[in-house]
Structure 1
Amino acid sequence: MKTDRLIGILSVLLQKEKCTAPELAERFEVSRRTINRDIEALCRAGIPICTMQGAGGGIRIMDGYRMDRTLLTSRDMQMILAGLRSLDSVSGSSYYRQLMEKLQVGGADFVSGRDSVLIDLSSWYKESLAPKITLVQDAIAERKRITFHYYAPGGESVRQVEPYYLVFKWSSWYVWGWCLTRKDFRLFKLNRLEHLKMLEEGFAPRQVPMPDLSNERIFPANIRVKVVFEPDAKWRLVEEFGPGCFEEQEDGRLLFQMDYTDEESLLSWLLTFGAKAEVLEPETIKEKLLRTAEGMMYIYRKGGKLMAQKELALYVAEQLEPLGDIRYIPMMGGWLFYYREKLIGGIYEDGFAVKDTPASRRFMPDCRDEVWENTPVALLPCTILEDSGKLCQMVREMYPELPAPKAKKPGKRRRKSDGI
């Protein structure tokens, strides 16, 4: 542990012109006395370190000093080379390979042996990602602002940012910088950037906090989901969450419970399992999956597009046909449905809604509580039932005291001789 700290202190001093003992103590989470002992140890190792007292003083390495590579073990050098090689996989250049060759000159024995660590940080978006990384690196080095079009879950925007760090986290690349729009430090995902440019306008360095990239900070979990998966989905659960993420049930299915922060990502992930996943909780996720599945069903059943309102009205009318006495008319930007001249529901936007009655609550337990917007009556958005018999029974019970339909008067029969 001490050796790692000594190398770390030396690395800091090589990068910074001057540093104080309190700064080093805070960085390495040790006391000032420990830092003083470490500085003495480095001096005994032959590293020319100078200390200056008073205002403007500190610890520094004498000008012209370069670290002797023999301070690093063979294993240390192998890890450094693996890291450098991984950066070339992102940039698509040979800069880091050339740097590795410089480190290896005259040290074939020092870094001998086959490479045991291979790191590839490139992604499917390497062709578009590499130029972005290069541009952001240049902007950081030159202290120039960048501008870009950004796509976020909350919408699109054009941002200007003072960039400070390139960050690789959660298998993606980000830029950490001061956002002039939000007046705060923000993290931007490179794959969501478009029209990225470096501006001529420079900026004065700010006191930059290190980004808190803990999962709890960035992705605070607030959705507890409980899902039962089919046995053949086990490999995916193990790969993505580890072997302890589920409980095997008596029937062989897998009970999975996890906390999520992003509802859209959760829904997308669950849909990739198709019918191999059954959501038990929460009800809101079950309802949204059902609506998504219905939308997909309409797309593939109706020639590649969602039903228009008129098509949807015809579809509902077909389901209610066994009742008779059903009438529907266009009104208020949608279609209203009547049963024996009593309003039962309507088509609004791209869904079917029924009047709020005890019968609708019983037959449509997935009804949302809010009233459908822009309607003169309380209509509850709900799923369209495939079971037309169940739908008809619900409509009958919505108005149980309605009189029976009037019998139609028989028309006057024409005699055959009445023909032309």
Structure 2
Amino acid sequence: MRSSRLLSILLLLQTRRQLTARELADELEVSLRTIYRDVEALAAAGVPVYADQGRAGGYRLVEGYRTRLTGLTEQEAAALFLVGMPGAAAALGLTAETSAAELKLLAALAPDQRDRAGRLKNRFHLDLPAWYRDAETSPQLSAVADAVLHDRRIKVRYRRWEEPREVERILEPYGLVLKNGSWYVVASAPGGVRTYRVSNILDLTPTDESFERPTDFELARFWQDHLENFDRVRFTAEAVVKVSPGLASTMHDVSYPALVKAVDAAVPEPDGSVVVTIPIESVANAAASLSRFGDAVEVLGPPELRTELRTLGQKLLDLYP
């Protein structure tokens, strides 16, 4: 543990040029006394570290000194793809490894390259969850990630949408995907390779059983195919709707992708309204989704969707007489 901390101090001084004892203590989450002892140990080991006195002082390395002790551990190398994604790294339990990997990468760069990397880090930020929702809490995520990394089978109790709601499965996890703040595990199970929402895993039991991952499996390609197939399956019908001029002019502020896409491609009527055909999952789902627009969206068909909206409206009138 101490050797890792000494290396971190060395790399921090190399990348940031000068740091006070307090800044080092805060960065490494240790006491000032620990930092003082560690710096003395570095100096005793021959590292040319010295302290500038005064208000603008701090610890520095002798100008031109560079360490080459930047080799990545196995876990740090695995965490490289999460550099710049602190939320995802924390969810997977790789915060420390990601920070260490990033520090070692910076230390390996020349000063001008390091400055450019620092500018990029401070000018671009990735925030994955969608608006109006928080990232999901997935207590089993770190265990799933460990099984993915080590090709180990896991036994899970899973909650799904259809009956029976709770099922038990033996999964061979191929990979994890983060989409809009939700984690999904792509795994082989009876019936083929499927996706499982990690937050719906109620219980997980690791096993010592390993499995052979298909050599031709590509996670990104599978996920893209899955999304395309998901859209084909979930959109079972169509609806014709008339969008008011006011809503049509502010369509890009609406979180209804199918409606936004259809209105963008349509030619407005003389009064500014737009009549479009949109895919829908079901009558009930479409009624719930379209009702939030009030009289800004008029359903022209199918008749059963108009009936469902009328029923929803009547229920509201009965609730608020």
Within the candidate set 268, 275, 290, 1:255 is matched to: 275
Within the candidate set 194, 200, 204, 2:207 is matched to: 200
Aligned equivalents of 2:164, 2:252: Cα separation in 1: 34
1:176 equivalent in structure 2: 186
2:74 equivalent in structure 1: none
Within the candidate set 135, 138, 141, 1:126 is matched to: 135
Larger radius of gyration: 1
Within the candidate set 162, 178, 195, 2:172 is matched to: 162
Q: Tell me whether 247-256 or 80-89 shows the greater mean CA deviation.
A: 80-89
Q: Tell me whether 247-256 or 86-95 shows the greater mean CA deviation.
A: 86-95
Unaligned runs of 5+ in 2: 1-70, 72-78
Aligned equivalents of 2:80, 2:149: Cα separation in 1: 23
Give the alignment of 1:232-247 within 5 angstroms.
232-234=246-248, 237-239=251-253, 240=257, 241-242=260-261, 244-247=264-267
Aligned equivalents of 1:155, 1:247: Cα separation in 2: 47
| SS of alignment partner, residue 279 of structure 1 | strand
Give the alignment of 1:78-157 within 5 angstroms.
84-86=83-85, 88-89=87-88, 91-92=90-91, 94-95=95-96, 96-107=98-109, 108-113=111-116, 114-115=119-120, 116-122=123-129, 124-126=133-135, 128-129=137-138, 131-142=139-150, 143-152=152-161, 156-157=165-166
The yes-or-no answer on 1:219 pairing with 2:234 is: no
Letter in 1 for 2:115: S
Higher relative contact order (CA 8 A, sep 6+): 2
Q: TM-score w.r.t. structure 1 length?
A: 0.45
Aligned equivalents of 1:82, 1:135: Cα separation in 2: 19
Letter in 2 for 1:260: I
The Cα shift of 1:270 comes to 1.0
| SS of alignment partner, residue 277 of structure 2 | strand
The Cα shift of 1:165 comes to 1.0
| SS of alignment partner, residue 109 of structure 1 | helix
Aligned equivalents of 1:213, 1:263: Cα separation in 2: 27
Once the two structures are superposed, residues 136-189 of structure 1 have per-residue CA deviations (whole angstroms, 9 ceiling, x without a partner) of: 101223413141332325662323122211123466421111234xx3211122
1:9 equivalent in structure 2: none
Structure having the larger proportion of residues in helix: 2
Letter in 2 for 1:216: E
Letter in 2 for 1:126: A
The Cα shift of 1:105 comes to 0.8
Aligned equivalents of 1:236, 1:267: Cα separation in 2: 21
Aligned equivalents of 1:252, 1:122: Cα separation in 2: 34
Aligned equivalents of 1:194, 1:154: Cα separation in 2: 16
Aligned equivalents of 1:83, 1:204: Cα separation in 2: 25
Aligned equivalents of 1:250, 1:155: Cα separation in 2: 52
Letter in 1 for 2:205: M
Give the alignment of 1:318-337 within 5 angstroms.
none
Note closer, same or farther for the CA distance 1:299–1:84 as it changes in structure 2 (3 Å cut). Answer: same
Once the two structures are superposed, residues 243-278 of structure 1 have per-residue CA deviations (whole angstroms, 9 ceiling, x without a partner) of: 724432222323232223455543332122123211
Note closer, same or farther for the CA distance 1:171–1:274 as it changes in structure 2 (3 Å cut). Answer: farther
Note closer, same or farther for the CA distance 1:81–1:175 as it changes in structure 2 (3 Å cut). Answer: closer
Aligned equivalents of 1:127, 1:175: Cα separation in 2: 14
RMSD: 3.5
Letter in 2 for 1:187: T
The Cα shift of 1:119 comes to 0.9
Instruction: Say whether the 8 Å CA contact 1:230–1:277 is kept in structure 2.
Output: yes
Letter in 1 for 2:84: R
Note closer, same or farther for the CA distance 1:235–1:159 as it changes in structure 2 (3 Å cut). Answer: farther
The Cα shift of 1:201 comes to 5.4
Instruction: Say whether the 8 Å CA contact 2:172–2:211 is kept in structure 1.
Output: no
Instruction: Say whether the 8 Å CA contact 1:85–1:97 is kept in structure 2.
Output: no
Letter in 2 for 1:229: V
Unaligned runs of 5+ in 1: 1-67, 69-79, 302-420
Note closer, same or farther for the CA distance 1:122–1:236 as it changes in structure 2 (3 Å cut). Answer: same
Note closer, same or farther for the CA distance 1:156–1:178 as it changes in structure 2 (3 Å cut). Answer: same
Q: TM-score w.r.t. structure 2 length?
A: 0.57
Aligned length: 221
Aligned equivalents of 2:137, 2:223: Cα separation in 1: 27
Letter in 2 for 1:164: Y
Aligned equivalents of 2:269, 2:309: Cα separation in 1: 24
Note closer, same or farther for the CA distance 1:133–1:264 as it changes in structure 2 (3 Å cut). Answer: farther
Aligned equivalents of 1:256, 1:167: Cα separation in 2: 34
Instruction: Say whether the 8 Å CA contact 2:153–2:211 is kept in structure 1.
Output: no
1:331 equivalent in structure 2: none
The Cα shift of 1:102 comes to 1.4
Instruction: Say whether the 8 Å CA contact 2:129–2:180 is kept in structure 1.
Output: no
Q: How high is the sequence identity, in percent, across the aligned residues?
A: 18
Q: Give the ranges of 4+ consecutive aligned residues of structure 1 lying more than 6 Å apart after TM superposition.
A: none
